């Protein structure tokens, strides 16, 4: 079954700040920005802290929210795997929050980042210098929603595939270093004769 994203999740544009942000290490509110999205995860370790009026409840991010890059080269999303505390998402990011308990946040994150979804988003992006995805386009994205069991299996397999790719990359780098050292030994051995 395929369903539009708007039917299973609420989408809200990030908080718009008027003017420059004054960073305060002991600030009451943390800000999730584009730089905090690492691959498909939100890195909470370097969030900027600011002093501002307590944001309204609907502006606060929470564990399980997806943070979508609405502008830039890639229009993918990242998941908030941990509780961000008193944090808001900054514009132009979108916060996607599931409203349907029949969909796993991890699955939705995977699906939005999948080639078919990315292809749809690419065809609906606007702008020449900087591509942008509108809220309407994102809401219209059709999501394939299998059973919860299948969603869990897809997420688990996806994690294994990512781990395998990481290990292959590390192995290739180690092999390159090894072969470079061997070739250098051959070159130096010939030069010393």
In the prediction, which pLDDT does 63 show? 95
For residue range 144-154, list pLDDT tens digits in order: 999 999 999 99
Confidence of residue 193 (pLDDT cuts 50, 70, 90): low
Q: What is the pLDDT of residue 18?
A: 78
Q: What is the largest CA-CA distance in the chain?
A: 77
CA geometry: angle 21, 130, 79, nearest 5 deg: 60
The answer to whether residue 39 scores a pLDDT higher than 90 is no
Please tell me the predicted confidence (pLDDT) of residue 191: 64
Count CA within 13 A, CB hemisphere, residue 26: 0
């Amino acid at each position: 079954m395929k369903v539009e994203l708007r039917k299973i999740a609420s989408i809200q544009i990030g908080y718009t700040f008027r003017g420059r942000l004054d960073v305060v290490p002991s600030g009451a509110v943390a800000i999730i920005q584009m730089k905090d999205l690492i691959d498909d995860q939100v890195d909470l370790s370097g969030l900027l802290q600011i002093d501002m009026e307590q944001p309204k409840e609907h502006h606060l991010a929470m564990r399980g929210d997806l943070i979508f890059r609405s502008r830039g080269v890639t229009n993918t999303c990242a998941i908030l795997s941990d509780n961000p505390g008193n944090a808001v998402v900054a514009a132009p990011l979108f916060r996607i929050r599931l409203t349907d308990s029949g969909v796993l946040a991890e699955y939705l994150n995977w699906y939005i980042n999948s080639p078919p979804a990315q292809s749809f988003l690419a065809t609906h992006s606007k702008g020449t210098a900087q591509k942008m995805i509108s809220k309407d386009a994102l809401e219209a994205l059709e999501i394939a929603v299998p059973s919860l069991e299948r969603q869990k299996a897809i997420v688990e397999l996806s994690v294994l595939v990512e781990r395998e790719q990481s290990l292959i990359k590390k192995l290739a780098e180690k092999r390159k270093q090894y072969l470079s050292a061997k070739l250098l030994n051959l070159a130096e051995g010939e030069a010393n004769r």
